[in-house]
Amino acid sequence: MTDKAWSTWSHQHSTTPTDLLAPRSALELAAQVQDAAASGQRVKVVGRGRSASAVAQPNGQHLTLDYLTGLVNVDPQNLTATFLAGTTVRDANKALGYYNLAFTNLGRLDEQTLAGAISTGFHGTGLGYGVFASQVKELSMVDATGQALTCSESQNPEIFRAALCGLGALGIITHLTFKVVPQFRLHAAERGHRYSTIVPAFIERARGADHYEFSWFPGSQEVRTRRLTRLPLLTDGYMPAGAALSQARRYGGDHFLNNGIFSALSYAGQKLPAAQPTLNKISNWGKGNRRYADYSARVFTVARTIPQNNMEYAFDVEQFDEVMADLYTHLNGSLGESSYPLVVRTAAADEIPLSQAYGRETFYISARQYWRRPHTEYFTALENIFKAHGGRPHWGQFHTQDAAALGELYPLFEDFTSLREELDPAGTFLNPYLEKVLLS
């Protein structure tokens, strides 16, 4: 038994597991799953707790992959890299950097494990690039009987595609082989614009950029855009005069602003909600306009230390104008108390059954709220709009959808749930959240 309570980053969900399992090898993990299945216990793999939903909440045994980390194999010729599944995105970026390699696209956070990231739909932005899981070439997992499975497009292809956004419901991933690319730089241009200039042309602008996104505080007539342009590496060892100072200013400024001043503004907004619109203007003003270039992982990702609750829904790009018009009409000026802006990003279509981007070019609208502040009313108002347009919720973030509703949103939903039933009929890997979203 363990008396160590588990909770998500924002402390929205917490529990005390019956036991804590920390296998040091895939073989030990398999034996622990066999023991749990034989005794009728449930096992839930928990990563870094960055999900705002209860997707990874253990209601039986808590299994951590803290000892299953690191780079197992790298093939610079064929551009593949295999990691143990408990490796964080941050550590994987560092390991690839030693070989002058990189992931082709990443989201903003890098504290989560690789397995957790792919299992819940982690993504960056760019209509020419898929979700993070689309970079996976092969994976190994332990099923509910304790057997090891190797899955790829040629081996167990149905399980492979489903497990790329499997919610931890199909098995426990132990190894992931990624398609990687030669290391590259990104040039970032961050600017403030008028809402009326950017939003009507967003999809066109997104098609003309490698990676493009914007953020908007409901009630504001201003948006902030972030355009990332892929660049080749410079000559080995080359660093322009002043580059080191520029880097230090950017890293220092990001940390001071995002995790220092922003924390103070969020706390002030919690105490004085009426002041939040003014605080949001200060936040926007403090970010200013800037341009910089660096190794890709250093630009894609941003260190965040302030806990938050999140909600995100995804839509067909063809719906962009109508969804944004609805948001603008219903939210403009009414929910300015949020200390975080809405963030709009995109992704290419994919063939992963439970991916938000399955079968369609996708745009995402992400909402966040400071962890100390109530979020239910704000998220509910947003979700009512998102649901009216048939949006697909992010599995690792706040939403109220159940299996009946989700079955209407994902064309291969029944195929996934049937596969889950086949692989884990006793529900060894289920928890209350997964029962709600997967079992009708």
DSSP string, 91-156: HHHHHHHHTTEE-S---S---SBHHHHHHHT-----TTS--GGGGEEEEEEE-TTS-EEEEESSSS
Instruction: Locate 48 and state its tokens.
Output: 């870094």
Position with higher pLDDT, 11 vs 344? 344
Q: Is 317's pLDDT higher than 50? A: yes
3-state helix, strand, coil in the chain (%, to 5): 35, 25, 40
- Report the mean per-residue pLDDT for the chain: 87
Between β-strands 101-102 and 211-216, what pairing exists: parallel, antiparallel or unpaired?
unpaired
Please state, in angstroms and rounded to a whole number, the distance separating the CA atoms of residues 264 and 276: 12
For the chain, percent of residues with pLDDT exceeding 90? 66
CATH 3.40.50.2300 fits 71-182, yes or no: no
Please state, in angstroms and rounded to a whole number, the distance separating the CA atoms of residues 163 and 181: 23
Tens digit of each residue's pLDDT (9 = 90 or more) over 323-382: 999 999 888 655 445 678 999 999 999 999 999 999 999 999 999 887 677 788 889 999
Please state, in angstroms and rounded to a whole number, the distance separating the CA atoms of residues 331 and 160: 40
Q: CB-based contacts of 405: which residues, under 8 Å, 6+ apart?
A: 387
- pLDDT reported for residue 242: 52
Integer distance in angstroms from the first to the last C-alpha of the chain?
33
Query: Of 3.50.30.30, 2.60.200.30, 3.40.462.10, 3.40.50.300, which CATH number belongs to 185-393?
Result: 3.40.462.10
The confidence band for 40, taking pLDDT boundaries of 50, 70 and 90, is: very high
Please state, in angstroms and rounded to a whole number, the distance separating the CA atoms of residues 19 and 58: 10
The confidence band for 269, taking pLDDT boundaries of 50, 70 and 90, is: very low
Helices vs strands, H then E, count in the chain: 15, 20
- pLDDT reported for residue 236: 54
Tens digit of each residue's pLDDT (9 = 90 or more) over 282-316: 555 555 688 888 999 999 998 777 778 889 999 99
Domain coordinates in residue numbering, the chain = 71-182, 185-393
Position with higher pLDDT, 146 vs 269? 146
DSSP string, 214-273: EEE-TT-SEEEEEEEEEEPPPSTT---TTHHHHHHHHHHHHHHIIIIIHHHHHHHHHH-G
